[in-house]
């Protein structure tokens, strides 16, 4: 059996099934998956066994393939047994992701008669930590951070009892034998308390900041309704405006704070327990500074026993900010001493525990768009579930992007995308990258024959790939974005609209608003957004005002009042750079177009993080949508001037300057929100019309990719108009459309090129 079959109660399930059906034999974990040996009279009982196996598999299991053959042994003992894992084979098994505490365990947690009453580490074969506590496979207790805890008699009896829900549950523990919580002051000194949970709940109610050691790392928690406390957390963490996620006690409470559709509720309550972006109600009691200038809030439900215990404490606030426990520009803390030294000065108290976190994993983030769950950050709860491919790839590593990095290990028809790592420009994240590559190679056993990276030579991930001394394949950034969607949906080729931040283009310009024909080996650039000068280059990418000033200069327009507020010498510097043509790389980036539009409208001149201006522009556009359907909005008369195309060689250029200058001229006649909406609609109309010209029959698969497709308005609007033209539209769902999914696309292209090269070489 291959797939997610270890650490999910699969062997005990096989044992029970075989015993019920009166079959003799054995079951064992191997590095390939699970191996079952059966003896029976004829084939019929064996076929019935395999059918039941598929139908009744445990909730966390994912059976990907079952292969069978006759055994060569002629004798086998009667009865059925679970045998010790075989760890001499090369590693190929798959580790399950971490899963929220199950309903059965939650019932025991609050049952005073249960021996695990209020035990914060309760779990069973159907739930609990996996990926974050396993250092190598096969998945057995000594290979996990539970190895140091010797099971007590009661736990050992359950572990050995096939009738128990904890039969062979590796992280099983209880008050008598397992890990414990402890309560510490702001310097990390342990404080005596009967209950760290009660102490934390009281501190949170008083507006204190508590660092909590969780599943994949530390959280910083604070009362989400306490404006003063939230501001204090922002100040101490050095996170001025970026939205903070909250955890609410239960789903009813969530619906009091936010609009909640059925698919959103389903996403919230799923065993993966991601952060779901939800639209805030106008009048709710949470701190305004949780998500300034945005209409959405990241919300999650409790997922560890500790979270449930905390919310059950009578003094605990009903909603807590639960933001990653790290100083800005550093990865989330995992170890006790590391957290105490790095979070000193941020946290007032610490809840620590003595179960080590082996793999760091941030909370995952998703947004429901058109009823579908769209992952924006893929980490805890999803990783390392493999992604199924429709073709065979050689063993490889694809090293991903510079920002929002993930990497990918692939072999055969499986690709394992790493957890969200972060921005490799900061040294701490580079260490995290290195550790994660080592860890995931241990878990998958993949020994790469080749490496793949971005064409940008200065990415840290590209530098890492070069150091591996393997055959190296470099992939253009936006081709990789298209390929990530092709890999997820099993496409061989397609017409792709990639709307993204920045990626190095073949002509050395900064690309990011591209229409390409792509397959697994190559791409052809058919069109792109007009090149605009980016005064200051990459360093200026967060400063939309520079683009706006450049635009005014190019089109001979006077600066609008809000841009005149920018200091004169700064503006002069931009003009001087433009005039001399120095440090002004041309860019077709759609992300920069959003930045420019936000600056022209006076919404945001300077972004605090990648995507900041675009998120505020989208939030503003939604205000103009009140009560209107998107299809209706798309059908209304445009405000901004219609798009102009220009042909340059064989590439079509979509002129954006006339639209932006139109926006500048119209800004005194229209509300900002109406122009923000029309900007989105302009992109939808222009790009879908362009796609229609390229493929009037609409018979090519239409691929949407790049970070801008996280924008709900843009994604839905484009999809509506493309479908009207009979296109079948594909975009990232399980794999992020942003740079977090790039490594999968690199893997597909690099692996395919390697195979094709070997075929040409006659191997
Ligand atoms: Zn459970
Ligand atoms: Zn025990």
Task: Spell out the residues 6+ positions from residue 282 whose beta carbon is closer than 8 angstroms to its own.
Answer: none
pLDDT at 7: 72
* Cα separation, 282 vs 233, whole angstroms: 24
pLDDT at 470: 97
Nearest ligand to the CA atom of 116: 2
CA of 729 to the centre of ligand 2 (A): 53
Nearest ligand to the CA atom of 149: 2
Can you give the three-state secondary structure of 627-693, one letter per residue?
CCCHHHHHHCCCCCCCCEEEEECCEEEEECHHHHHHHHHHCCCCCHHHHHHHHHHHHHHHHHHHHHH
Check residue 112 and give left, alpha or beta (phi > 0: left; psi -120 to 50: alpha).
alpha
**What is the block-wise mean pLDDT of the chain (763 residues), using blocks of 10 residues?**
82 88 86 84 84 87 85 76 61 77 97 98 94 88 93 95 88 96 97 97 98 97 97 94 96 95 97 96 87 94 98 97 92 96 96 97 97 97 92 96 97 94 94 97 94 97 97 98 98 98 95 98 98 86 90 89 90 92 93 96 92 96 92 95 90 95 93 97 97 94 98 97 97 98 98 93 69
CA of 179 to the centre of ligand 2 (A): 10
Q: Which two tokens stand for residue 171?
A: 């992280």
CA of 157 to the centre of ligand 1 (A): 17
Q: What is the pLDDT of residues 193-225, one digit of tens each?
A: 999 999 999 999 999 999 999 999 999 999 999
Nearest ligand to the CA atom of 153: 2
Nearest ligand to the CA atom of 172: 2
* Cα separation, 53 vs 40, whole angstroms: 16
Nearest ligand to the CA atom of 99: 1
CA of 299 to the centre of ligand 1 (A): 23
Can you give the three-state secondary structure of 433-501, one letter per residue?
HHHHHHHHHHHHCCCCCEEEEECCCCCHHHHHHHHCCCCEEEECHHHHHHHHHHHHHCCCEEEEEEEEE
Neighbours of ion ligand 2 (CB under 5 A): 152, 155, 174, 176-177
CA of 169 to the centre of ligand 1 (A): 10
pLDDT at 92: 53
CA of 154 to the centre of ligand 2 (A): 6
CA of 100 to the centre of ligand 1 (A): 8
pLDDT at 33: 83
Nearest ligand to the CA atom of 152: 2
Nearest ligand to the CA atom of 166: 1
CA of 155 to the centre of ligand 2 (A): 4
CA of 138 to the centre of ligand 2 (A): 23
pLDDT at 91: 42
Rg (the chain; Cα; Å): 27
* Cα separation, 268 vs 276, whole angstroms: 6
Nearest ligand to the CA atom of 174: 2
């Amino acid at each position: 059996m291959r797939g997610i079959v270890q650490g999910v109660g699969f062997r005990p399930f096989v044992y029970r099934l075989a015993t019920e059906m009166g079959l003799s034999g054995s079951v064992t974990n191997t590095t390939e998956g699970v191996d079952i040996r059966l003896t029976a009279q004829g084939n019929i009982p064996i076929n019935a066994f395999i059918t039941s196996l598929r139908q009744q598999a445990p909730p966390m299991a994912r059976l990907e393939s079952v292969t069978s053959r006759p055994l060569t042994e002629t004798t086998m003992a009667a009865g059925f047994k679970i045998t010790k894992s075989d760890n001499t084979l090369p590693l190929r098994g798959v580790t399950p992701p971490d899963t929220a505490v199950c309903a059965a365990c939650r019932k025991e947690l609050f049952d005073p008669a249960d021996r695990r009453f209020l035990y914060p580490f309760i779990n069973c074969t159907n739930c609990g930590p996996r990926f974050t506590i396993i250092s190598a496979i096969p998945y057995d207790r000594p290979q996990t951070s539970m190895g140091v805890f010797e099971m007590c008699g009661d736990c050992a009896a359950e572990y050995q009892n096939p009738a128990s829900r904890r039969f062979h549950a590796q992280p099983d523990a209880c008050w008598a034998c397992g890990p414990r919580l402890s309560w510490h002051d702001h310097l990390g000194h342990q404080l005596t308390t009967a209950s760290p949970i009660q102490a934390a709940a009281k501190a949170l109610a008083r507006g204190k900041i508590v660092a909590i050691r969780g599943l994949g790392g530390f959280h910083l928690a604070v009362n989400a309704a306490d404006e003063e406390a939230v501001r204090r957390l922002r100040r101490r963490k050095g996170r001025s405006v970026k939205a903070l996620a909250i955890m609410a006690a239960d789903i009813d409470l969530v619906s009091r704070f936010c609009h909640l559709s059925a698919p959103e509720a389903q996403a919230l309550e799923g065993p993966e327990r991601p952060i779901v972006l939800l639209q805030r109600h106008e009048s709710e009691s949470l701190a305004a500074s949780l998500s300034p200038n945005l209409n959405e809030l990241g919300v999650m439900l409790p997922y560890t026993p500790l979270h449930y215990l905390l919310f059950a404490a009578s003094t605990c606030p009903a909603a807590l900010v639960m933001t990653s426990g790290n100083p800005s520009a550093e990865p989330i803390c995992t170890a006790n001493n590391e957290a105490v030294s790095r979070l000193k000065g941020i946290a007032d108290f610490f809840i620590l525990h003595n179960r080590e976190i082996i793999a760091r994993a941030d909370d995952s983030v998703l947004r429901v768009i058109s009823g579908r769950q769209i992952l924006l950050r893929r980490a805890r709860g999803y990783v390392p579930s493999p992604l199924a491919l429709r073709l065979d790839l050689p063993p490889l590593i694809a090293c991903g992007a510079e920002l929002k990095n993930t990497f990918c290990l692939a072999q055969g028809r499986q690709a394992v995308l790493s957890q969200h790592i972060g921005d490799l420009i900061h040294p701490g994240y580079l260490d995290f990258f290195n550790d994660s590559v080592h860890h995931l190679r241990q878990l998958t056993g993949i020994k790469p024959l080749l490496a793949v990276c971005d064409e940008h030579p200065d990415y840290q991930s590209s530098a890492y790939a070069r150091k591996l001394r393997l055959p190296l394949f470099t992939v253009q950034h936006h081709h990789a974005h298209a390929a990530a969607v092709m890999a997820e949906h099993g496409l061989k080729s397609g017409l792709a609209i990639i709307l993204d931040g920045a990626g190095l283009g073949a002509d050395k310009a900064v690309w990011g608003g591209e229409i390409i024909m792509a397959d697994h080996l190559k791409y052809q650039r058919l069109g792109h957004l007009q090149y605009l000068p980016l005064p200051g280059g990459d360093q200026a990418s967060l400063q939309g005002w520079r683009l706006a000033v450049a635009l005014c200069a190019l089109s001979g327009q006077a600066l609008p009042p809000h841009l005149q507020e920018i200091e004169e010498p700064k503006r002069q510097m931009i003009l001087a750079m433009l005039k001399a043509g120095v440090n002004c790389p041309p860019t077709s980036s759609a992300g920069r177009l959003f930045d420019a539009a936000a600056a022209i409208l006076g919404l945001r001149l300077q972004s605090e993080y990648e995507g900041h201006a675009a998120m505020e522009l989208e939030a503003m556009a939604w205000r103009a949508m009140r009560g209107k359907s998107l299809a209706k909005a798309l059908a209304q008369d445009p405000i901004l001037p219609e798009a102009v195309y220009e042909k340059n060689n064989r590439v079509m250029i979509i002129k954006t300057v006339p639209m932006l200058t139109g926006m500048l001229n119209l800004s005194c006649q229209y509300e900002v929100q109406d122009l923000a909406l029309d900007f989105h609609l302009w992109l939808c109309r222009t790009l879908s019309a362009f796609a229609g010209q390229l493929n009037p029959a609409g018979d090519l698969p239409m691929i949407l990719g790049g970070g801008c497709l996280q924008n709900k308005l843009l994604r839905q609007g484009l999809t509506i108009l493309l479908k009207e033209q009979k296109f079948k539209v594909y975009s990232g769902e399980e794999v992020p459309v942003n740079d977090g999914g790039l490594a999968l696309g690199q893997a597909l292209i690099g692996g395919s090129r390697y195979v094709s090269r070997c075929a040409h070489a006659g191997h």
